[in-house]
Structure 1
């Protein structure tokens, strides 16, 4: 019985247009072409093509052009790979890729920064920073994280001014504990902090990140000088004298003619810091070359105490002004004592320090 005539394009797997079975395409030929185009493993496409050709001939399969094309692409890819390895071009591309991955891994939110990390801030001009990059402290950077804290005591968003006031006070304390050798802080590097926004507050953000950051020009090197980097004598010395410097920076903006009580109260704070330093330095044993300079500093502090007491107990603004200039002039800076202990013995250029 004769076969029934099929249509020009019979059902899948049925007779072809001329009544002959359709030849299956060799799978390895297809794989060779794909491997050659993708170029992920250049030799693979070449090997698959070489294996596919005899199979195609033996089994009378389709796909010979695919296998040949895959082999050609693979051969070209292999040649480019060899040239890249010889000339270093491939190495440059790979290094660039690694640098890009590294750059991406170091880019993060300011609130993911950790104490001791140095960073560059790409969004300084924005109201809220969203992108900072962690860098090696030896390289130029915008700032260094000194610590942080959580804002507490508010059931709802208290406003930026309220958080700013808290951050300024607490970050000052954090910075002084992190960078005790204040004279080692570069010029133009000041107190800096990242605050939560009203939007992030709604999401549970209460973190303030404290830092020391450059106002204009970037700086290099870490400013860290705390108990982890200083010796016991250095730590005791700075713990004793730093409150004087901190108190001096809190001088009221209004002069005593306008706010005598506030200025006298401030002078009292400086006096307390001077007396505290005098007593604390006297309780410590100062070895070797530091013995005489520290003793001389204590003597100068005792003299300064008398003058600052006169300032703190001035009867009126005239008496205050009369004692003011002398009080600043007689206040010692302790440079020799600092140098004898291996601390920075010269204040940053432009710094307002005791005489």
Structure 2
């Protein structure tokens, strides 16, 4: 048996603490008391005032958002002002977010409302509305020439020979520089035929359409010419195979140039239909003088005489209105003389004989008689400026 070690003496002044009985554990320092919970519930370290789940999250007021949006877009300024006032009341009552939005919307709407009132007083709003309406009208009026109907007038700001992205349709009473005489479909080509071919087709067909659209040729100004619009390669691939024809010029004019069955009387139509072929034949005079090509000049003179004779027959076979009977009779007498003279020109043996009859043939073309008939029929009675004539050698 080993000897037991005697107990160590304690520090001076310290009393000996008897050991606790083995059955009871020694207790440590007491923890700070925490919040009490109901019996059987888990301990809550930091409960909120409304229980373990905390307070519900505050929402943003919808009227405040609406007020700000209305104030920004400036569509309905008074609406944004009203929404802002109601939003501030609801936010204060319900404890919602969005006070800054409501204040900003109210301020912007107030400024917009003042601007609207000022614009109404000064007329700026009306001017802006008119400008917007005119802009929308102009935008809606821009169309491709091939989409226009016969008789519609338009403004084309593109230069001659340039690609046209669109023309602006206007009333024919307003200034314009073009008028649609018709359009036609290009057929017989599986692929794009090229600009040169389309331009050739446009010149040929559009010249004919212009002749039937504006029968009163004296009403055309000196700078009026035939127009044609054809599709480019891309438009052709997209299915646009039409060519639009028109009459126009560099200068803007007012009023329609249309003079056909839709605008003319039967007597006006009859006179122009018989007389215009004479003008067409005269304008086909060869560029070469008789010394260079006598046969071409003879053939031209024969064509002019044939047109004159056709007019003589057609005009004599019609019963004219009383006011036009005397002028038509005088005009027919002039045509009879002109027919004989142009017959001599067509039968000239050589260039010298041709020149001998040339000036007299031109003198007998009854322009003065035509002027009197036109005046009686209420057609344009002022002839267009004459092109330079060859004159005798």
TM-score (ref. length: structure 1): 0.89
CA RMSD, Structure 1 to Structure 2 (Å): 2.2
Mapped to 2, the partners of 1:264 and 1:157 lie a distance apart of 41
> 1:122 and 2:157 equivalent?
yes
- How far did 1:290 drift? 0.6
Kindly report which structure 2 residues correspond to 1:136-215, keeping only aligned pairs within 5 A, or say none: 136-214=171-249
Structure 1, 279-288 or 106-115: larger mean CA deviation: 106-115
Aligned position for 1:244: 278
> Helix, strand or coil for the counterpart of 2:184?
strand
Aligned position for 1:349: 385
- How far did 1:321 drift? 1.9
Mapped to 1, the partners of 2:122 and 2:71 lie a distance apart of 23
- How far did 1:342 drift? 0.7
* Larger Rg over CA atoms: 2
Q: Identify if the C-alpha distance between structure 1 residues 346 and 310 changes in structure 2 by more than 3 Å, giving closer, same or farther.
A: same
Deviations 1:113-137 (A, max 9, x none): 2211222212225532222212222
Aligned position for 1:286: 320
Structure 1, 344-353 or 49-58: larger mean CA deviation: 344-353
- Whether the 8 Å contact between 1:110 and 1:132 is mirrored in structure 2 is yes
- How far did 1:3 drift? 4.1
Mapped to 2, the partners of 1:209 and 1:141 lie a distance apart of 17
Mapped to 2, the partners of 1:185 and 1:352 lie a distance apart of 18
Match for 2:105 among 70, 76, 80? 70
Aligned position for 2:372: 336
Mapped to 2, the partners of 1:29 and 1:200 lie a distance apart of 52
> Helix, strand or coil for the counterpart of 1:115?
coil
Deviations 1:142-188 (A, max 9, x none): 22111121223334444433333332232222111111111111221
Q: Identify if the C-alpha distance between structure 1 residues 299 and 5 changes in structure 2 by more than 3 Å, giving closer, same or farther.
A: farther
Deviations 1:31-58 (A, max 9, x none): 2222222222112212222222232222
Q: Identify if the C-alpha distance between structure 1 residues 47 and 172 changes in structure 2 by more than 3 Å, giving closer, same or farther.
A: same
- How far did 1:270 drift? 1.1
- Whether the 8 Å contact between 1:56 and 1:64 is mirrored in structure 2 is yes
- Whether the 8 Å contact between 2:278 and 2:307 is mirrored in structure 1 is yes
- Whether the 8 Å contact between 1:193 and 1:211 is mirrored in structure 2 is yes
- How far did 1:351 drift? 5.4
Structure 1, 118-127 or 220-229: larger mean CA deviation: 118-127
> 1:233 and 2:254 equivalent?
no
- How far did 1:302 drift? 1.0
- Whether the 8 Å contact between 2:146 and 2:183 is mirrored in structure 1 is no
Mapped to 2, the partners of 1:97 and 1:150 lie a distance apart of 37
Number of residue pairs the alignment of both structures matches: 342
> 1:104 and 2:139 equivalent?
yes
Q: Identify if the C-alpha distance between structure 1 residues 331 and 21 changes in structure 2 by more than 3 Å, giving closer, same or farther.
A: same
Aligned position for 1:300: 334
- How far did 1:330 drift? 0.8
Mapped to 2, the partners of 1:199 and 1:68 lie a distance apart of 56
Mapped to 1, the partners of 2:388 and 2:253 lie a distance apart of 20
Match for 1:309 among 313, 332, 343? 343
Structure 1, 91-100 or 315-324: larger mean CA deviation: 315-324
Q: Identify if the C-alpha distance between structure 1 residues 156 and 324 changes in structure 2 by more than 3 Å, giving closer, same or farther.
A: farther
Aligned position for 2:26: none
- How far did 1:264 drift? 1.7
Mapped to 2, the partners of 1:152 and 1:253 lie a distance apart of 33
Mapped to 1, the partners of 2:284 and 2:178 lie a distance apart of 24
Aligned position for 1:222: 256
Aligned position for 1:323: 357
Q: Identify if the C-alpha distance between structure 1 residues 210 and 343 changes in structure 2 by more than 3 Å, giving closer, same or farther.
A: same
Mapped to 2, the partners of 1:4 and 1:321 lie a distance apart of 128
Mapped to 2, the partners of 1:60 and 1:161 lie a distance apart of 78
Deviations 1:56-109 (A, max 9, x none): 222222222322222222122111111111111111111111111111111222
Q: Identify if the C-alpha distance between structure 1 residues 23 and 119 changes in structure 2 by more than 3 Å, giving closer, same or farther.
A: same
- How far did 1:203 drift? 3.3
> Helix, strand or coil for the counterpart of 1:128?
coil
Q: Which runs of 5+ in 2 are unaligned?
A: 1-36, 38-42
Structure with the bigger percentage of helix: 1
